[in-house]
Amino acid sequence: SRRIVLASRPKGAPVSGDFRLETGPAVEPDEGQVAIRNLYLSLDPYMRGRMSDAPSYAEPFQIGEALGGATVGRVEASRDGNFKEGDLVLAFGGWQERSVLPASSLRKLPADLTRPSYALGVLGMPGFTAWHGLMKIGEPQAGETVVVAAASGAVGSVVGQVAKLKGARVVGIAGGEEKCRFVTDELGFDACIDRRDPQFAEKLKAAVPDGIDVYFENVGGAVFDAVLPLLNVHARVPICGLIAGYNSERPPEGPDRMPLLMGTLLKKRIRMQGFIIGDHYGPEFSEFMAEMGPWVKEGRVRFREDVVEGLENAPKAFIGLLEGENFGKLVVKLSDD
Ligand code: NDP
């Protein structure tokens, strides 16, 4: 079966030469292990951080090894009593068509999932990230204004829809008119501003006449510069991601804006808090699923996927993710169900 390994650590934006497709013999599972045929591989922004060897909250991927990533797959052969052939499982199967993993690392998925790939999206890590950051840190109140960028994406689309369900006014930010139209017309946000519009900052200001009470930070960079002066007294800013900077090798040029940031936080008594979703699995994940499961079934939360066919196309799709070329949650389809 085939896999994609990290050939070299990217310098700045990853290029196709940083990845290598390899074919290897099929390994058989040992006692306590399960062999899985992977159906879907999730491509996520955090993978860029793990391609570098700078110290972080997670271990770097190793050169010459298959890249890591969450997968949904079917059990092909099991040497563990808890799994049998044909079971649908969530695993960290990596960028490969087949994985052999310890049974203890797998989670069995219900056979009646709306779509199996949703376990990698709205009903999995990104959905949980959106729900946790918004509800536990953002704490939106009815009538408040919530702003989120990358609003058509995996996390942002869920943030905005949940905030609407909680009675907030929601303004999205997205790259391009087509994404913005989707965010307002299909996801029901009150407004959406194109971050590539030359008048982006002015248009954002006009879209939030009462200021911003919750800014869910997904991107950083120029988007945050436009948001900062619009934050209200006692605003909450969950810091989820800073994708605008993931490919940067050095700090941005320009004046030092740290005093402006610190001064704004102080004078407006703003609370900014970073979080890493891996810390929060456990009882809170069940709380999330109890709320999100019905919302998705009833169509009250909608979720767009960007499905790329074939493992060989994963590198190009991942490179594009860091430039906003995806439209919806990016997953790679590896095999028919
Ligand atoms: P998305 O599905 O939203 O895809 C990424 C999107 O980011 C792109 O579509 C694009 O949206 C935007 N983007 C890409 N490059 C840039 C750039 N250079 N400048 C500004 N925007 C850019 O991804 P996810 O929903 O999976 O992730 C969203 C954020 O959440 C990321 O920052 C990610 O790291 C973070 N995250 C954090 C977690 C945590 O535990 N803290 C867990 C999961 C995700 P557009 O074209 O609309 O601007």
**Confidence grade of residue 114 (pLDDT, cut at 50, 70, 90):** confident
Point out the ligand 1 atom lying closest to the alpha carbon of residue 174.
47
Average confidence (pLDDT) over 121-130 = 98
Query: What's the pLDDT at 292?
Result: 97
CA-proximal residue: ligand 1, atom 19 (nearest): 244
Q: Is the CB–ligand 1 distance for residue 155 below 6 Å?
A: yes
Give the HSE-up count for residue 137: Cα atoms under 13 Å, Cβ half-sphere.
25
Cβ contact 161:183 at 8 Å: no
Residue 28 burial (10 A CB sphere; 0-12, 13-18, 19+): exposed
Q: Is the CB–ligand 1 distance for residue 323 below 6 Å?
A: yes
Task: Label the pairing between strands 88-91 and 71-78.
Answer: antiparallel
CA-proximal residue: ligand 1, atom 45 (nearest): 175
Residue 285 burial (10 A CB sphere; 0-12, 13-18, 19+): middle
User: Partners of 108 in the beta sheet?
Assistant: 89
**Confidence grade of residue 86 (pLDDT, cut at 50, 70, 90):** very high
Condensed to tens digits (0 to 9), the pLDDT of residues 184-219 reads: 999 999 999 999 999 999 999 999 999 999 999 999
Judge whether residue 15 has pLDDT over 90.
yes
* Residue 42 structure tokens: 């999730």
Q: How many angstroms separate the CA atoms of 96 and 40, rounded?
A: 10
Judge whether residue 24 has pLDDT over 90.
no
Average confidence (pLDDT) over 26-34 = 95
For the residues of 300-331, what is the DSSP string, one character each? Answer: SS---EEEEESGGGHHHHHHHHTTT---SEEE
Query: What's the pLDDT at 52?
Result: 96
ipTM of predicted assembly, 2 dp: 0.99
Task: Calculate how far, in angstroms, residue 82's C-alpha sits from the geometric centre of ligand 1.
Answer: 36
Judge whether residue 337 has pLDDT over 90.
no
Write down all domains in the chain, each with its CATH number in brackets: 2-121+304-333 (3.90.180.10), 125-278 (3.40.50.720)
Query: What's the pLDDT at 251?
Result: 86
